[in-house]
Amino acid sequence: MPKNAEIKKVLVIGSGPIIIGQAAEFDYAGTQACRSLKEEGIQVVLLNSNPATIMTDKDIADQVYIEPLTVQVVEQLIQKEKPDSLLPTLGGQAGLNLAMELAESGFLEEHHVRLIGTTASTIKRAEDRLEFKEAMEKIGEPVAPSQVVENIADGIAFTNSIGYPVVLRPAYTLGGSGGGIAHNQEELEEILGNGLRLSRVGQVLVERCIAGWKEIEYEVMRDGAGNVITVCNMENIDPVGIHTGDSIVVAPSQTLGDKEYQMLRTSALNIITELGITGGCNVQYALHPTSFEYCVIEVNPRVSRSSALASKATGYPIAKVAAKIALGYTLDEIKNGVTQKTYASFEPMLDYCVVKMPRLPFDKFISAKRVLGTQMKATGEVMSICTNFEGALMKAIRSLEQHVDSLMSYDFTGVTDDELETMLSRLDDRRIWVIAEALRRGVTYDRIHEITQIDIWFIHKLEVLVRMEERLRRAGEKVLSGEPAEKALSQEVLEKAKGMEFPDSVIARLTHIPQERVKELRSRYGIQAAFKMVDTCAAEFTAQTPYYYSVYGGENEAQRNQDRKKVLVLGSGPIRIGQGIEFDFCSVHCTWAFRREGFETIIVNNNPETVSTDFDIADKLYFEPLTPEDVENIVDVEKPDGAVVQFGGQTAIKLTEALMKMGVPILGTAAEDVDAAEDRERFDEILEQCQIPRPAGVTVYTAREAKEAAAKLGYPVLVRPSYVLGGQGMQIAINDQDIDQFIGIINQIAQEHPILVDKYIMGKELEVDAICDGEDILIPGIMEHIERTGVHSGDSISVYPAYNITEGNVETMVEYTRKLAKALHVKGMINIQFIVDGEDVYIIEVNPRASRTVPYISKVTGIPIVPLATQIICGRKIRELGYTPGLQPRGAYYAIKMPVFSFEKIRGADINLGPEMKSTGECLGIAKTFNEALHKAFLGAGIKLPKYKNMIITVRDSDKEELIPIAGRFAALGYKIFATKGTAKALNEAGVKAIPVRKLEQESPNLLDLVLGHEIDLIIDIPHQGAEHSRDGFIIRRNAIETGVNVLTSLDTAKALATSMENKAKGLTLVDIATV
Amino acid sequence: MKAYLILEDGTVFTGSSIGSDREVISEIVFNTSMTGYLEVLTDPSYAGQAVVMTYPLIGNYGICPEDMESSAPWPEGYIVRELSQIPSNFRSQDTIQHFLKQYDIPGICGIDTRALTKRLREKGTMNGMITTKPYEDLSEPIARMKSYRVTGVVERTSTRERYVLPGPGKQVALLDLGAKRNIARALNERGCQVTVYPAATSAEEILSAAPDGIMLSNGPGDPAENTKIIQEIHKLYQSQIPIFAICLGHQLMALATGASTYKLKYGHRGGNHPVKDLETGRVYISSQNHGYAVDMSSLDPKVAVPAFVNVNDGTNEGLSYTGKKIFTVQFHPEACPGPRDSGYLFDRFMKMMEVNP
């Protein structure tokens, strides 16, 4: 069927800020789809509130709106741009929900906008629990016995009829928000009550618990003519009970016979046919482990995290094909871009094994419960490819960048066998390490399976790895007893260990053979990594797309091209707090810019959710862990003329030294200058030379030294490890006890680098991203943070242009930037953070690389920062590129970047803002005035206030004076203020009416009752600094977050929110970023 | 024990011996299915060939005897990257290692099956040898390999005796040319009584039983070699009885009615090939296993017209016989292994028999 000629202008809605459950995969899908639409000559209007995305670039869409994702905005946008069609299935659940609201209200019909891809009724049948159940019953597809309830009493009655445990799934939420498993009535009441509140429609599905069954997924496609295919099936190693986003997933399924595989495949195709989906769809199954019984768990009638994974696992671009289908094409008309010989109607066949592992944020949220369940907690994920499962798992483990490199990375020495059994039954992020330990201690497969319900096949594979550790350890004993390395470690063992992807460093550790010597032995035995191609067809056809993975033992398929200069672009790995999608934005733009400069571009990355790992972004894609050894294998084959590390966040920067040792020139700022910015003493020297002040500070290694330093500097001090990103481990200490505690935490992981202790100065925080060509600098703009120092820059509301500083401050900052960029011989990007205290300007941090703010500043200033920096790295000068050096004139718009958090997903995490970053994503508010921009930013972050006009305030004594005017503003907005005794007294005395409430430990009704009473919509709670966080405050904050109440922990944020609410505009002015 | 796979072009792959350690020469073909290794092993169409599984992890779910597509494995040899050390499936009763030994099938594991597949793709299907003997001089085994032909395989794989699989409905005569069990099972499931005939059965014998329909099965080898059977099939063609044919049966019917067949460079073996139903325009993902195809240019439209075509390479995937109740397909609607999407063709056959008085 040819393309529908009536479709000319399409509105695509993105998924908004990155939050747990909705990450970079939608930027990948959206970008791919937009490019696919534009290829067909369609005009694309894009709406997404997330400025860090590639899809919001003007080269991806024709009109780009970085505006809040609200019904009002979409309506206004449709009236303004008059698209004829809306493609709703690319923006995740957020985009889909918006489109549904507009379809249901009749707005789309009224404005002659059709939903393309999938119709509203199809979406409803797939998403509405009741309609879905009916559809499944109609075609005889089994679903677990379940009932949709709208109140707690019905939930209890139904559960009593089917028995505990039951799974609770709120309708229309993402990442399983608010869901859970209830084992008794108490749990049922709690989870159900919460779920009912979080569901957009106030419905929760209560369902028979199928925990322990195999969890299997199918990615299927259907076109308008009814042709259906399967792209990929996937098996979760973790049985049903752990959200698939938090599960270790393998593709294709490993423990299903053809009978089971085809049974579920046929079912998935029947379902997509019955629902009438046109495009991609994900179907999740629970398969009974000892029979053919199965249940359909759920269907996602849109692209999803799983579809991104399936696309990367197979080379089949689901979003691109889905976009073409939406335009009317059929599967047999769409060419497979990988082979150029086959069509989209050909089912991919894998000749390798893919493992996906979640990146969980427990390193950031130390107090959080590590338990995994039906609520997703991962912020990102890694994928790896190998011809065997063991190798794929080992590669995935080291791709996580979480100080894990093997199954030995957690220490269980103090754990008794009984305790270990208990740990086995606990589902947390360390479970495979616990299983490995159990195997080491001789616990049987059957026992482990009985406890964990993980299939014996996977347990056996872990055993294979454990046995290899043992063989290497035995070789190590021989080495220790004086045997020469080459005798102790046989070629056969080394070959096998490498075949399972044991890194040289781990082999060295186990065998006591120095790592360099292990490498030597490998080259003597001819054990080298070879690269194989992901080609969608298991080598049946020649493929055109150079998408590679490494494997030991086999023929190398990656050929070095001789014609052009080659650049290695190092990606940023999994999305985590502190290193998000921004760095993928930078990597992709850098790649495109190098290509325009005539380079052959080679990307290395391991994140399946991103645009950078799409096979047509770079000339070559290596889907590999970002460790020195893995990168060196690629370097050996490609022999690049240089590598660029300044766009891949800290992941890439950390590889600088290793690349130099490999003899790969670092393009842009030299490695030693990168080091100078990170090395405290060298950096201090430079600052001194440039006569730039910084808060006084000392480098220490031990807690004792730290306390001495703090005594000299005077409390409060900032304590942090060097070489980290996102302020990881950074804390404000107010006394010696704090220092002992913080350094204890930092030293849980062996530190190669020293710890920094700095004087904490309270002031305004500002930030600059600049480009330097060795002589001149270009500063697109200066950003000012709303929150004062002490809150991590990634968690602060950031305003461009700076709005509250003097001309003198600006001049000083520009001057310092120029001096520092020159002193550090920066070629390319530099990011500097300043403190401004009156006329004094201090430097707090310098990063010789692209930062998290680059995408947003590029977009609001219209200056293509990454391409410019790349051109400069290639030897061009700022002046010859048509720019006047120095600070660029400020733009016509205010742009305010607002952090977005996912606290409700991480039980037990403290939401208190501090020097350690906690936000998962960001959105942008852009407008002609500061106030409107601020309002849009809050709206984009999902803060829609007021709701009940009841708030609670509790602050420290020292903040009371500052609080009074802010509280007064909320009172003027109509808020009824509840406050703890001291705060209430201060407010009432100052003439702001406040109702005192009892503290937590006091009898009811107290603060907590008020929070749980669901009539509060805002809490301002300023906790004490230091480790001794008030336990009460913590409980209040957690309860508030879990019941959906907004909590602010900074007075600056509170002030900004008041401004935003005071300026709640009648209508918003929408800004087409493409014209900025 | 070390084992070697030697191709007739002189390429040698070194791996480990699995199954029997006897030396074997055969044609080497690859199959891209990710599941269904037992169905592949027991598909009689592989007689005379050694199969390379492109999916690297084989044996994960052990051996489930009810999944066997015939009474025994047929390939001459079995080539894999890695065999699972333990089977894990509730129905599994054996390991693939033991199964191969039990049936004396030689094989090799631990080789770069992708490199091998690429060679077969580029040079076309080749003969090769699996051996545990380290040959110093390859010229002698290569000469033996070059003279190897897959021959006499239909007779070898067909049933010796006629037998009946009872059912309450239509009477179907199934000519076993090396049939997979699921063809008869698919007919039984639709209520048919299936009488299975040896490949060498005369047309007269089949016709004298006056079946409601005739089913020509899949099978191994070069279709053109079966001259005697082709003559009998020509007689079946001339009868008025509805005929449905799969794979080799499809090729033999084409040969019986004047068309010709040719050998594909490396065949189609897997569970992912899209075939287009030319009547409806719908595309179905099919299970495939064939090394030969019907030459479309040799078709006389007065006799037969294409009914299905392969979306990827445009080769013929099915024929509809003009003025006859005969339709034939190159692919495998009986699945096992592979997608069941084209199972509706059995229903079409049922319908054809329905309207037959």
- The answer on pLDDT for A157 being more than 50 is yes
Q: Which residues pair with B126 in a beta bridge?
A: B28
The answer, for A554 touching chain B at a CB cutoff of 8 Å, is yes
Q: Tell me if the bond preceding A1005 is cis, omega within 30° of 0.
A: yes
Q: Which two tokens stand for residue B353?
A: 């028999």
pLDDT attached to residue A376: 92
The span from the CA of A3 to the CA of A8, in Å, is 11
Mutation choice for A interface testing from B42, B96, B277, B285 by most A CBs within 10 A: B285
**Is residue A375 a contact partner of residue A175, using CB atoms and an 8 Å limit?**
yes
Q: Which residues pair with B285 in a beta bridge?
A: B274
pLDDT attached to residue B71: 95
pLDDT attached to residue A340: 78
> B202: distance to nearest CA of chain A, Å?
36
List the beta strands (DSSP E) in A907-975. 921-927, 950-954
Question: Quick one: DSSP state of residue B179?
Answer: -
Residues A913, A917, A919, A923, CA torsion sign: positive
- The answer on pLDDT for A723 being more than 70 is no
The answer, for B239 touching chain A at a CB cutoff of 8 Å, is no
Q: Which residues pair with A824 in a beta bridge?
A: none
Confidence tier at A1012 by pLDDT (50, 70, 90): confident
- pTM of the model as a whole: 0.94
The span from the CA of A96 to the CA of B71, in Å, is 52
pLDDT attached to residue A199: 75
The ipTM of this complex is 0.97
> A353: distance to nearest CA of chain B, Å?
8
How is domain A9-116 classified at the architecture level of CATH?
A: 3-Layer(aba) Sandwich (3.40)
Residue A885 DSSP SS3: coil
A586 alpha-carbon distance from chain centroid: 15
The answer, for B59 touching chain A at a CB cutoff of 8 Å, is no
Q: Is B354 a catalytic residue?
A: no
List the beta strands (DSSP E) in A931-1064. 950-954, 976-980, 994-997, 1018-1021, 1046-1048
The answer, for B322 touching chain A at a CB cutoff of 8 Å, is no
* Domain A531-667 classification at class level: alpha beta
Our CA angle for A679, A684, A687, nearest 5°, is 125
The reply to whether CATH 3.40.50.1380 applies to domain A944-1062 is: yes
Q: What residue spans in chain A does CATH classification 3.40.50.1380 cover? A: 944-1062
Residue A648 DSSP SS3: coil
Using a CB-CB cut-off of 8 Å, the residues of chain B touching A253 are 35
* CA nearest neighbour of A205 among A236, A162, A245: A162
* pLDDT (tens digit per residue) in B226-244: 999 999 999 999 999 999 9
In chain B, pLDDT over 90 holds for what percent of residues? 99
Using a CB-CB cut-off of 8 Å, the residues of chain B touching A225 are 281-282
Who contacts A771 (Cβ-Cβ below 8 Å, separation ≥6)? A777, A778, A828, A829, A830, A865, A868, A869, A872, A878
Per the CB < 8 Å rule, is B272 touching A346? yes
Using a CB-CB cut-off of 8 Å, the residues of chain B touching A291 are 90
The span from the CA of A319 to the CA of A1057, in Å, is 38
* pLDDT (tens digit per residue) in A464-512: 999 999 999 999 999 999 999 999 999 999 999 999 999 999 999 999 9
- The answer on pLDDT for B258 being more than 90 is yes
- The answer on pLDDT for A1076 being more than 90 is no
* CA A497 vs CA A391, A464, A626: distances in Å: 9, 10, 19
The answer, for B281 touching chain A at a CB cutoff of 8 Å, is yes
pLDDT attached to residue A545: 83
The span from the CA of B341 to the CA of A262, in Å, is 10
* pLDDT (tens digit per residue) in A273-313: 999 999 999 999 999 999 999 999 989 998 899 999 999 99
Region A358-527: CATH code: 1.10.1030.10
pLDDT attached to residue A261: 98
The answer, for B2 touching chain A at a CB cutoff of 8 Å, is no
The answer, for A461 touching chain B at a CB cutoff of 8 Å, is no
The span from the CA of A663 to the CA of B130, in Å, is 44
Mean pLDDT of B215-223: 98
The span from the CA of A343 to the CA of B273, in Å, is 10
Residue A886 DSSP SS3: strand
- Tally Cβ neighbours within 10 Å of residue A286: 25
Given the residues B250, B268, B290, B332, the one annotated as active site: B332
Burial A239-258 (b: 16+ CB within 10 A, else e): bbbbbbbbbbbbbbbbbbbb
- The answer on pLDDT for B357 being more than 50 is no
> Which residue reads 């090396």 in tokens?
B178
Per the CB < 8 Å rule, is B56 touching A389? no
Q: Which two tokens stand for residue A885?
A: 């050096």
**Is residue A861 a contact partner of residue A780, using CB atoms and an 8 Å limit?**
yes
The span from the CA of A314 to the CA of A603, in Å, is 18
Nearest CB among A257, A341, A538 relative to B54 is that of A538
* CA nearest neighbour of A348 among B167, B211, B33: B33
Nearest CB among B61, B270, B312 relative to A255 is that of B61
- The answer on pLDDT for A174 being more than 70 is no
Higher pLDDT, A624 or A59: A624
The span from the CA of A621 to the CA of A534, in Å, is 10
pLDDT attached to residue A730: 73
Q: Is B334 a catalytic residue?
A: yes
Nearest CB among A225, A269, A532 relative to B114 is that of A532
Q: Which residues pair with A551 in a beta bridge?
A: A530
Q: Which two tokens stand for residue B127?
A: 């003969």
Beta strands A600-605 and A566-570 are: parallel
The mean pLDDT of chain A is: 91
Residue A120 DSSP SS3: helix
Least confident residue range of A23-27, A197-201, A260-264, A459-463: A197-201
Per the CB < 8 Å rule, is A554 touching B112? yes
The span from the CA of B112 to the CA of A790, in Å, is 56
Sheet with A146-149: list strands edge to edge.
A146-149, A204-208, A166-170, A180-182
pLDDT attached to residue A285: 97
- The answer on pLDDT for A643 being more than 80 is yes
- The answer on pLDDT for A928 being more than 70 is yes
The span from the CA of B72 to the CA of B91, in Å, is 18
Per the CB < 8 Å rule, is A269 touching B81? no
- The answer on pLDDT for A363 being more than 90 is no
Per the CB < 8 Å rule, is B60 touching A457? yes
Given the residues B8, B69, B155, B247, the one annotated as active site: B247
- The answer on pLDDT for A1027 being more than 60 is no
Q: Which residues pair with A428 in a beta bridge?
A: A371
Question: Quick one: DSSP state of residue A874?
Answer: T
pLDDT attached to residue A580: 93
**Is residue A668 a contact partner of residue A824, using CB atoms and an 8 Å limit?**
no
pLDDT attached to residue A741: 80
Using a CB-CB cut-off of 8 Å, the residues of chain A touching B118 are 539, 555
Confidence tier at B211 by pLDDT (50, 70, 90): very high
Per the CB < 8 Å rule, is B117 touching A351? yes
Per the CB < 8 Å rule, is A464 touching B338? no
Per the CB < 8 Å rule, is B274 touching A346? yes
Q: Is B247 a catalytic residue?
A: yes
* pLDDT (tens digit per residue) in A1054-1066: 999 999 998 876 6
* Domain B154-354 classification at class level: alpha beta
Any alpha helices (H) in chain B, and if so which ranges? 37-41, 96-102, 113-123, 139-146, 153-157, 181-189, 203-208, 227-238, 248-256, 344-354
Mean pLDDT of A135-146: 91
Mutation choice for B interface testing from A1, A258, A267 by most B CBs within 10 A: A258
Residue A103 DSSP SS3: helix
How many Cβ pairs within 8 Å bridge chains A and B? Answer: 161
Residues recorded for chain B: 357
pLDDT attached to residue A173: 63
Q: Domain residue spans in chain B?
A: 2-150, 154-354
Region B2-150: CATH code: 3.50.30.20
* pLDDT (tens digit per residue) in A690-714: 999 988 888 888 888 889 989 999 8
- The answer on pLDDT for A377 being more than 50 is yes
* pLDDT (tens digit per residue) in A221-250: 999 999 999 999 999 999 998 999 999 999
pLDDT attached to residue A725: 53
N-terminal to C-terminal alpha carbon distance within chain B: 62
- Tally Cβ neighbours within 10 Å of residue A83: 24
Given the residues B250, B317, B334, B336, the one annotated as active site: B334
Confidence tier at B320 by pLDDT (50, 70, 90): very high
* pLDDT (tens digit per residue) in A814-847: 999 999 999 999 999 999 999 999 999 999 889 9
Using a CB-CB cut-off of 8 Å, the residues of chain B touching A389 are 57
> Which residue reads 């007919």 in tokens?
B187
* pLDDT (tens digit per residue) in A844-862: 889 999 999 999 999 999 9
